[in-house]
Structure 1
Amino acid sequence: MEDNIKISLAPIQGYTDWIYRRAFQEYIGGVDEFYTPFLVLQNDGTIRKSHQREVEPYIEKSINLVPQFVAGTISEFKYFEDYFSELGYVKMNWNLGCPYPMITKRGRGSGLLPYPEKIRDLLDNAYSSKLALSIKLRLGLIDPKEIFSVLDVLKDFNLDDLILHPRTAKQMYKGDIDRNIYEQCVNSYKKEIAYNGDIAFEDDYKELILRFPNLSHVMIGRGILNDLYLPKKIKGLDIPPEEERKQILKQFHQKVFTDNCGLLNGEAQVLHKMKPFWEHFSNHFQMERKVYKLIKKSVGINKYEKAVDFAFQQNLKD
């Protein structure tokens, strides 16, 4: 359908880690750009080892990966730009969209949106342009009109990408997406703004592109987790027939499972990681509820593997 559209995989904490991204690239494809879940400095000024692993360049050599971070001070911003530069990255993403109170109350993520002059100060005094800068943001913390003052600031800077999720932080992931304000933002900013939010099916994309025919970049998160072939469907690429697709999905799961077994300690940790994976992955199957229920109820790896075997005996959705 749209083989020239750029599709980015949205970063989702707990799901789209390096293991998931690497398996996706190896077995599925169709995504042009991957974003890490955001890195954040701890109180002692260090980065968690698990977060460091997310951006180790040797792990995902074949992936077009953009590291994402949250920062509310000049020192934090400079730290991440230097850190990513030393690792060899050429682009980074500043997260001004995270809606979670533990982030926003500390003046990070969407917590910066009511303070456009603070955003200007950070870009003026912290950003050195060593790396191309992409920004992901929402309409505001509470008021969706906050976005217009922020855009007035961002117009003055040479940004690589601006990716907008047209909800406020207060909405979290509930309530309606406001595409009317998104349209006003595009008209106000005078440059392209990539779109993120509520693209769950191919028809959602068709509806979006009908309204915004000049759109050339979308970021999709849970829509891809629920249907790994959604990017290829949007791009009009060939989708394998059901039996072949089932084998590919089986290999994809096995890769994610095996890599997590090698990384984590013990059955409990592995199951704690893999059960949420199936919250979305089960959507590939016609009997998704029964599949997910058996996975959730499984105690121990043996019962988990039996539940997985049952899943792959079921028919897939189209």
Structure 2
Amino acid sequence: KTRLGRYHEEEIEELFELFSNYPYEELIVHPRVQTDYYKGNPRLDAFAGIYQKNEKPLIYNGDIFTKEDYENISKRFPKIDGVMLGRGVLANPGLLSVIHGQELPSLEVWGAFLERLYQDFTENAVNEEKALFKLKEIWCYLRYSFPKMDIWNTKIKRCQNLKEYKMAVEELLEHYPEIPNGAFGKLDEEEK
């Protein structure tokens, strides 16, 4: 897996030459340079250059948050061998289902999922503070799955302990309307 380079997208030429000296099985490309972090849009023209040259399986990685994002990439690069879903799945754990034409998870499924996250983080963390930190960290993304409620800013971000966290999540599930298909929000520009 690689980005286009550290500072400039032209660095991919050197990387591509380096990779060709090794028997790699597939190439996963996130079409940004390292200094972009996740800001701005993926550099699709630079990815297109790799797409045309590469002879091994090629995986696209970057900014797939909706079914439409997936379809646009698949249409522009029909011979890619796959896409890697990263932050898009964190923001919308039902994204893969939506891409495959299935319904979004019900609130019951969400409840079970959020409870499982809670259990796993609290069982594996060194202490309550670390567990709470990890839960808050994942909510930086999960909040986009609940665009009609500002649960992140009003409750979860302000939680001081796991009891407050549990109460916030329970309140969300109790008061949140059923999620209509496609209601998930995209990450804000600063979140990318």
Q: Normalising by structure 1, what TM-score? A: 0.53
Measured in 2, the distance between the counterparts of 1:146 and 1:173 equals 18
Q: Hey, what does 1:273 align to over in structure 2? A: 134
Q: Return closer, same or farther for 1:307/1:158 CA change in 2, 3 Å cut-off.
A: same
Q: Hey, what does 2:119 align to over in structure 1? A: 258
Q: Which segments of 5 or more consecutive residues in structure 2 lack a partner in the other structure?
A: 182-192
Q: Secondary structure at the match of 1:170?
A: helix
Please say if 1:141 is aligned against 2:6: yes
Measured in 1, the distance between the counterparts of 2:149 and 2:141 equals 9
State the Cα distance separating 1:212 from its structure 2 match. 1.0
Name segments (4+ residues, structure 1) moved above 3 Å: none
Would you say the 8 A contact 1:198–1:223 is kept in 2?
Answer: yes
Measured in 2, the distance between the counterparts of 1:138 and 1:265 equals 33
Q: Aligned Cα RMSD in Å? A: 1.8
Q: Secondary structure at the match of 2:8?
A: coil
C-alpha distance after superposition, 1:53-110 (max 9, x if no partner): xxxxxxxxxxxxxxxxxxxxxxxxxxxxxxxxxxxxxxxxxxxxxxxxxxxxxxxxxx
Would you say the 8 A contact 1:155–1:189 is kept in 2?
Answer: no
Would you say the 8 A contact 1:161–1:193 is kept in 2?
Answer: yes
Aligned partner (choices 77, 92, 103) of residue 239 of structure 1 = 103
Q: Secondary structure at the match of 2:150?
A: helix
Q: Hey, what does 1:39 align to over in structure 2? A: none
Aligned partner (choices 170, 180, 187) of residue 309 of structure 1 = 170
Would you say the 8 A contact 2:59–2:82 is kept in 1?
Answer: yes
C-alpha distance after superposition, 1:222-251 (max 9, x if no partner): 100111111122233x325x6xx2111111
Would you say the 8 A contact 1:152–1:189 is kept in 2?
Answer: no
Would you say the 8 A contact 1:186–1:192 is kept in 2?
Answer: no
Would you say the 8 A contact 1:291–1:311 is kept in 2?
Answer: no
Would you say the 8 A contact 1:141–1:169 is kept in 2?
Answer: yes
C-alpha distance after superposition, 1:188-220 (max 9, x if no partner): 223332100111111111111111111221111
Q: Hey, what does 2:144 align to over in structure 1? A: 283
The letter for the 1-side match of 2:103 is I
Aligned pairs (5 A) from 1:1-318: 136-236=1-101, 238-239=102-103, 245-313=106-174, 314-315=176-177, 316-318=179-181
Measured in 1, the distance between the counterparts of 2:53 and 2:38 equals 25
C-alpha distance after superposition, 1:157-178 (max 9, x if no partner): 3212210011111211112211
Q: Normalising by structure 2, what TM-score? A: 0.84
Would you say the 8 A contact 2:129–2:161 is kept in 1?
Answer: yes
C-alpha distance after superposition, 1:251-270 (max 9, x if no partner): 11111111222222443222
Q: Which segments of 5 or more consecutive residues in structure 1 lack a partner in the other structure?
A: 1-135
How many residues were matched structurally? Answer: 179
Would you say the 8 A contact 2:25–2:56 is kept in 1?
Answer: no
Q: Return closer, same or farther for 1:154/1:299 CA change in 2, 3 Å cut-off.
A: closer
